[in-house]
Chain A
């Protein structure tokens, strides 16, 4: 029996289906991210686990007990809200102590635990401050300390880093991971930021239109996306429309824009498909080894990388190259591209409607 088990969770708001038949298992101590675009039902899922929304149908089991009938205040979960929801009229210390107070823990024990929690998030020196006088990152840590101090069975985080600026967000990612591991708490994070999901979690559960699309390690999801939606949502990719001609155990034959390409073995029927090719898997080669060739139409320098867009017979291709301090192709220069066939991912063609 997994530690947290969501089975067939569905939530409708009138005609709107926010979450549909959502099932997910989370093991004790695991860090799982719910990843999906805005409006796909992540928050609703979290709210149902937290007890702020009643599921239309389905079950939530935590550590062997059914949660559906338990009121939110008795679920004992640690929640970090997107807005942090700190109590503005209480000091940091009082904010963190609130949950302990509600549990009737005596003053001395409370002070000890609050100090411990603030130590964990490295805010011990700001215990007497009011939230108003703190930076976004600091408020975030207070919210985390307040959620963790009650020693929750499960920590729920709703887009916890989305209100921070880019640099701080990266720092907080590392920090969040450290704190989670130190506290050893089972964690479910909701985010629309694929970098965040991949950097933080043991497992990523990709959601789309209220449904679970795929749940695996970040590496797995990135390498073997189950659909072209996932391949474009996680990282950058070149999505090409192609036709699958034949496939066997050795490999497959494709036609893309009239050009014949070799691909890996596919578990698909011959016919129209989507091909995903990651930009970092494309190499610039000598003319003789080229699969396709074409001029550079866009050239962007990103510091550690170069980003090229190259006009080829199979369509414009995005190419990423590590910056090694060498000369790179200029705008308009014709380059020759190649890749090994097993880097292609053959995916079922997505319905326009889906």
Chain B
């Protein structure tokens, strides 16, 4: 290879690299540095180096509760998405190609609408005087409204709505790689439909479920708009807490420390998950 042709890929990818550097790495590095600074109400931010912000977060049960709630919401969202996504992806993969492309569009539809619009829609549905509660009351099924706004359940519901397409696409991609004849083979060997699903389809869909879970979990754990609108101040998650520290308390260093902790814990969970998956499926799938 000549020198020029070796440098060409670098030159060609320079704009993208630069953008990546400026827009992602620099703010990230600055947040990281910021998290070691100290803050006082009167003095503002002083550029010191101390671990006091981290110590504050890690020694306060309040933050543990928020982190716990965030991961619980992300986990519940992931599990529900998997439960919904698996059968839907399975039907999708067995559909006539024409109907499949129509259904794919339906599945991806929610992604075309802004998160804020969609979440406000959920707020209209879920409120105490919202559509659902009104309908139930008019039907005489309830007397006092069921509280759905400002609950973790409401957040999970709306997050599932946003995240389920990612899960479906991941599982569908995995199912695309499977041979439908394996199901016929199992049937010819005496397996009933449920056994075929459990023993043949599910294991082959597993790589898709696992990668879909990874995406859904990390996106849900760091989601902001949905918990901000549906959870408000009452049901705080990590991202809304960071926001409050930055914009209400103006304690930027503490907010930065919380943000870094979220980043690190999500990364740790992802890497651990990946390890687990790789170890479990080594040698089975390409």
Interface set of A (CB-CB < 8 Å, partner B): 50-52, 72-79, 81-83, 85-89, 98-99, 102-103, 130, 132-133, 146, 150
CB-nearest residue of chain B relative to A72?
B187
List B residues at the A interface (Cβ < 8 Å). Answer: 178-179, 181-182, 184-192, 195, 199-200, 203-204, 206, 283-286
B284→A130 contact, CB < 8 A: yes
Chain B residue at smallest Cβ distance from A78: B188
Please indicate the chain B residues that have their CB under 8 angstroms from the CB of A74 in the complex: 190
Question: In the complex, what residues of A have CB within 8 A of residue B204's CB?
Answer: 88-89
Give me 15 A-to-B residue pairs in the complex whose CB atoms sit less than 8 angstroms apart, sorted by A's number.
A50-B184, A52-B184, A73-B187, A75-B188, A79-B188, A81-B185, A82-B181, A88-B284, A89-B203, A89-B206, A89-B285, A98-B191, A102-B191, A130-B283, A150-B189
Q: Are B190 and A73 in contact (CB under 8 A)?
A: yes
CA distance A87 to B191 in the complex (A): 13
Which of A75, A85, A86 has the largest count of B CB atoms less than 10 A from its CB? A85
**Which one of B190, B195, B200, B286 lies within 8 Å of A87 (CB-CB)?**
B200
Could you say which of B181, B188, B284, B286 contacts A73, with CB atoms under 8 Å apart? B188
With a cutoff of 8 Å between Cβ atoms, the chain A residues found around residue B283 in the complex are 130, 132-133
**Docked complex Cα distance between A130 and B203 (Å):** 14
Name the B residues within 8 Å of A50 (CB-CB).
184, 188
**How close is A81's CB to chain B, nearest CB, in angstroms?**
5
Interchain CB contact under 8 A, B186 and A87 = yes
Given contacts A88-B284, A132-B283, A133-B283, contact A146 B182 (CB under 8 A): no
A132 and B192 contact, Cβ closer than 8 Å, known pairs A81-B181, A85-B179, A85-B185: no
**Knowing A83-B179, A87-B200, A88-B285 touch, does A102 contact B190 (C-beta < 8 A)?**
yes
> A132: which B residues are within 8 A, CB to CB?
283-286
A77 with B188, Cβ < 8 A, contacts A83-B179, A83-B181 known: yes
A73 with B191: in contact, given A87-B200, A89-B203, A89-B204 (CB under 8 Å)?
yes
**Given A72-B187, A83-B179, A99-B189, 6 other A-B contacts at CB below 8 A?**
A50-B188, A72-B184, A73-B192, A81-B181, A85-B185, A89-B204
Name the CB-closest residue of A to B196: A73
In the complex the two chains form, what is the Cα distance from A146 to B191 in whole Å?
Answer: 14
